[in-house]
Amino acid sequence: MAKQPMLKFVDVARDMPVKRSAQERSHDFDEIYAEYADAKAAEQASRCSQCGVPYCQSHCPLHNNIPDWLQMTAMGRLKEAYELSQATNTFPEICGRICPQDRLCEGNCVIEQSGHGTVTIGAVEKYITDTAWERGWVEEIVPRAERGESVGVIGAGPGGLAAADVLRRAGVQVTVYDRHDRAGGLMTYGIPGFKLEKDVVMRRVEQLERAGVKFVLNCNVGEDISFQAIRGQHDAVLVATGVYKTRDLGGPGAGAAGIVPALDYLTASNRIGFGDEVEEFDNGTLNAKGKKVVVIGGGDTAMDCVRTAIRQGATSVKCLYRRDRANMPGSQREVANAEEEGVKFVWLSNPKGFTGDPVTGVKVQKMRLGEPDATGRQSPEPIEGSDYTEDADLVIKALGFEPEDLPALWGEDALPVTRWGTVLAEFNSGATSLPDVYAAGDIVRGASLVVWAIRDGRDAANAMLKAFDEQGAQVAAE
C-alpha cells in the first residue's frame, strides 16, 4: 500500500519560501520571495489535513479545488495539480502572488485553528502555475469552434481579462477597450513589481492576443469612442472599468504641491519599471528619492506606496492610520514586510491639515478607539490637545477609490447606478437593466480584491454565453 502523502501537519512545520533580506530587497522592485523547489512544495502541500469540509475552498471567492491540487502536488503530480488549479481560476499565478491569503483560504485553514500553522496555499498555488509555464503545460487558447457573437469589454483589468478568457475559449469574438497603453489595469499600473512582476501579467495578455482577443488601447470611452457605438458594434457589452477616482483629503493646505494621489504615484513608478519616460518622476513630483514621505491610509494600496517609497530612496517613510494595527484593512503580512524594510507606522493618527506649499508637514491629531460603528469596527475619536506636525516633503493620499460618474462620462443616463455610484447589476450574472449590458468587478462591488474581479468576470461571461445559447435556441425554434 502506498504511503499516505497527506496529513503531515503534526510532523512537518509550516515553511514559507525563503524571503530575501530587507536590506537586499529594499533597493529593487524584484519579487521578495524565492520559488519553492519540487521537494519543498510537495512537503508543504502534504501538511493539508484533507478535511471533510474544506473551509479554505469555501472561503475562496473562486471556490478553487485547493485540497485536491495540494494532494496532487504532494504526490508529485504537478501537471494534474496545475490543471485542477486553472480549472476554476483564470490567473492562478497572479492570485498566488497578491491574494490576501491570510484573510481568505489560509486564514480559514482548519489546521491553523488547531495551532499547527496554516498550509502555505498561496505559495504552492504560485509554484505549480509558474512550473506549468516553465514546462510548457500552459496550452494556447484554441476554441473548438468559432461563434458569430461579439462582445465588447470595457476595461482590461482582472475582471475584463477573465471574462475575455472565458468568452474566447467558447469561440466568441472579443474586443477589449482600455484607457491605458497596456492591458492589465491595476495589475499593470497599480500593484508594484515586488508583489507582482509585470512579465507575469503581460504573459497572460499576450496569451489572449494570440487567441484572437483584440485590444483597443489608449481608448477613453466617451471621448475616443462612445458607449453607444460600442453597444452598436457588439452583441453584448461588459462594463469592467474598475474604480479609479481617488477619495480626496480635505483640511487646510490640502491643495499644496507635493500632496499626490496614490494611483498617480504608483503608476509613475510602474511606468519607470517598464522603461517609459515619465516627466513627473524625472522632475521629482512623483519620486520619493531623498524625501520625507508620509502616506495616509491603512489599506493594501497604502502598503504598496510605503514600500515603493523605500525602494525609491526616501530618507524616511511613515504611514498614518486613524485606527490601530488590529483594525487596519490591509494585509498584516504586508505590514510586517513594510516594517522590516524600514517603514514607521503611526497608529491612531488622523490628518487635520498641511503646512507649506510645497508641503512641509502634516498636521496630525491623535485618536483613540471608541464605540463600534455600523460595521462593528470601533470608531476613532479625537483626543483633544494631542495635535502635532509630522515633517513631510511628499504626502501620498491612499484613502481608497470611488467609481467615476459613468452615466455622465459616457452620456448614457440609462446606465443604472447605485447611490454609491457603482453600476447596479444582478448578483452572479452581472446583468444590468440595459439590454445585453453586463458589469463586473470593482465597478459593481466598489474597491475590492483582484480575485473577486476574476470571479465576477467569469460569472458574467458564462451568463452571456447562456443568454447567447437561449437566443440561438429561440431563433431556431421560430
For 216-248, the pLDDT digits (tens) are 999 999 999 999 999 999 999 999 999 998 888
Task: Report the C-alpha gap between 153 and 178 in whole angstroms.
Answer: 9
| Cα 318–chain centre separation | 23
Share of the chain above pLDDT 90, in %: 85
Measured in whole angstroms, the distance separating CA 105 from the mean position of its chain's CA atoms is 16
Check whether 285 has a pLDDT greater than 70.
yes
Higher pLDDT, 35 or 350: 350
Tell me the mean pLDDT in the region 429-437.
98
Question: What pLDDT, on a 0 to 100 scale, did the predictor assign at position 3?
Answer: 58
- Provide the pLDDT confidence category of residue 10 given band limits of 50, 70 and 90: confident
- Grid cell at residue 2: 502506498
When mean pLDDT is compared across 49-53, 74-78, 269-273, 414-418, the lowest value belongs to: 49-53
- In the structure, what pLDDT confidence band is assigned to residue 4 with cuts at 50, 70 and 90? low
Is 317:343 a contact under the CB 8 Å cutoff? yes
> How many residues in total does the chain contain?
478
Quick one: pLDDT at residue 134?
A: 96
Overall average pLDDT of the 332-357 stretch? 95
How high does pLDDT run on average in the chain? 94
pLDDT at 2: 45
- C-alpha 204/C-alpha 207 separation (Å) is 5
Residue 370's identity, in one-letter code, is: G
pLDDT class for 113, splitting at 50, 70, 90?
A: confident
Mean pLDDT of 399-420: 96
264 in the Ramachandran plot: left (φ > 0), alpha (ψ -120 to 50) or beta? Answer: alpha
Q: Give, rounded to a whole angstrom, the gap between the first and last alpha carbons of the chain.
A: 60
Provide the CB-side half-sphere exposure for 296 (13 A, CA).
Answer: 27
